[in-house]
Amino acid sequence: MEIDRDHVIKLLREKGQDEKVQHAIDALPPKIDHEKHAQELEKLGIDPGELVAKAGHSLLG
């Protein structure tokens, strides 16, 4: 599943981790594959499974 980098940035801000936003912008492509980029997401403190669940929820409404 591809997820927009903006969704990751929004999630970081919701978690109060604004200091990690620039790293996410620098390290992640505009479209993120949660499996391919799992290691980078974990460095940012984001569980790839949680990201997919939240992204799916956003898409569903």
Predicted local confidence at residue 36, as pLDDT: 94
Extents of the domains making up the chain:
2-60
Tens of pLDDT, residues 17-60:
999 999 999 999 999 998 999 999 999 999 988 888 877 766 54
| pLDDT above 80: residue 1 | no
- What is the chain's alpha carbon radius of gyration, rounded to the nearest angstrom? 10
pTM of the model: 0.80
Instruction: Tell me the H-state helices in the chain.
Output: 5-14, 21-27, 38-43, 48-60
